[in-house]
C-alpha cells in the first residue's frame, strides 16, 4: 500500500474511533440522567400500591441500569431480572413518542421489549439472563463468581416486596423459605446459579420451582458460581 495513502487513512481511522467512543459516552450519560414521565410512576403505584415515592425512584434507577446494560451489550439480548422494573419499562413503551425519542438518543435504534416466552429458544433465554448477570456485576464492580452483594436489578423485587417478583439470594447454602405474608411464600435462589448450564434459578413469587419461560432450570446447589454470557 502506498505510504502516502496510509498517512491519510490512519488519522481518519483514529478520528472515527474517537468519535465512536465519545458518542458511546454521551449515550450512556443521557441514559443515566434521563427523567421518566410521571405517568409511569402512577402506573407503578397502581400496580403496587405499597410502594412509596422513594421506592418508585429506586425502580427508575434500576431501569436506567437496565438500559445501560442493553447499551453495553450492543445488539445482544439482555434479559430483564425484575418484575417491577419490567412493568416500568412496559409503561414507558406505551408513551410511544417519548420512548422512540429516548431509544434514538440512547441507542441509535428502537429497543424492543422481548419477554422470555417469545425468545427463539430456551438456550437463547438462558444466555440472555447470564448476560444480564455478568454485565450487571461489571456495572457495579461486583465479582460475579463471588458476589458480596446483589446488583440493584437482581435485588429490587425482594427489597420492595414485589409479590410476583423474582427473588435472588447470595447465600447458596440457605434453603429456608422467606415468609412475606400469610398467603404467599417466597423462595430465594442463589444468584450465582444463573451461570449454570441449566439456566437461571429464579422464582416468580410462589413455592413451585417449575417456573415457566426464562426463569426455569435447575436449583441444584452443586452448581458452581460465576457469570457466563458473551
**Count of helices and strands (H, E) across the chain:** 7, 4
Q: Residue 213 has which C-alpha cell?
A: 419461560
What pTM was computed for the model? Answer: 0.74
47: burial class by Cβ within 10 Å (0-12, 13-18, 19+)? Answer: middle
Can you tell me the distance from the alpha carbon of 197 to that of 63, in angstroms, rounded to the nearest whole number? Answer: 27
pLDDT band with cut points at 50, 70 and 90 for residue 192: low
Count how many residues are written for the chain. Answer: 230
Please give the grid coordinates belonging to residue 147.
Answer: 458476589
Average pLDDT over residues 137-161: 91
Number of Cβ within a 10 Å radius of residue 210: 6
Q: Where are the domains of the chain?
A: 26-195
Mean per-residue pLDDT, 57-69:
97
pLDDT tier, 35 (very low <50, low <70, confident <90, very high otherwise) = very high
CB-CB contact of 229 with 133 (8 Å): yes
The sign of the dihedral angle between the CA atoms of 200, 120, 77, 82 is negative
pLDDT(80) > 70: yes
Give the integer Cα–Cα distance in Å for 44 and 164: 13
Q: Which of the pair, 216 or 6, is modelled with greater confidence?
A: 6
pLDDT of residue 108: 94
Mean pLDDT over 71-87 rounds to: 92
pLDDT of residue 28: 95
Amino acid at each position: 500500500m502506498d505510504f502516502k495513502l496510509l498517512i491519510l487513512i490512519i488519522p481518519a481511522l483514529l478520528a472515527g474511533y474517537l468519535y465512536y467512543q465519545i458518542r458511546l459516552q454521551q449515550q450512556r450519560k443521557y441514559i443515566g440522567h434521563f427523567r421518566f414521565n410521571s405517568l409511569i410512576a402512577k402506573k407503578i403505584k397502581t400496580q403496587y400500591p405499597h410502594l412509596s415515592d422513594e421506592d418508585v425512584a429506586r425502580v427508575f434507577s434500576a431501569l436506567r441500569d437496565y438500559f445501560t446494560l442493553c447499551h453495553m451489550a450492543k445488539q445482544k439480548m439482555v434479559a430483564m431480572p425484575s418484575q417491577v422494573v419490567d412493568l416500568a419499562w412496559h409503561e414507558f413503551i406505551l408513551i410511544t413518542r417519548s420512548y422512540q425519542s429516548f431509544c434514538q438518543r440512547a441507542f441509535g435504534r428502537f429497543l424492543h421489549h422481548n419477554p422470555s416466552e417469545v425468545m427463539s429458544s430456551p438456550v437463547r433465554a438462558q444466555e440472555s439472563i447470564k448476560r444480564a448477570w455478568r454485565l450487571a456485576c461489571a456495572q457495579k464492580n461486583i465479582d460475579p463468581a463471588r458476589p458480596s452483594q446483589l446488583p440493584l436489578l437482581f435485588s429490587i423485587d425482594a427489597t420492595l416486596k414485589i409479590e410476583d417478583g423474582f427473588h435472588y439470594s447470595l447465600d447458596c447454602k440457605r434453603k429456608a423459605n422467606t415468609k412475606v405474608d400469610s398467603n404467599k411464600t417466597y423462595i430465594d435462589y442463589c444468584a450465582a446459579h444463573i451461570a449454570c448450564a441449566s439456566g437461571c434459578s429464579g422464582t416468580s413469587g410462589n413455592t413451585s420451582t417449575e417456573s415457566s419461560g426464562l426463569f426455569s432450570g435447575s436449583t441444584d446447589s452443586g452448581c458452581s458460581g460465576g457469570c457466563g454470557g458473551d
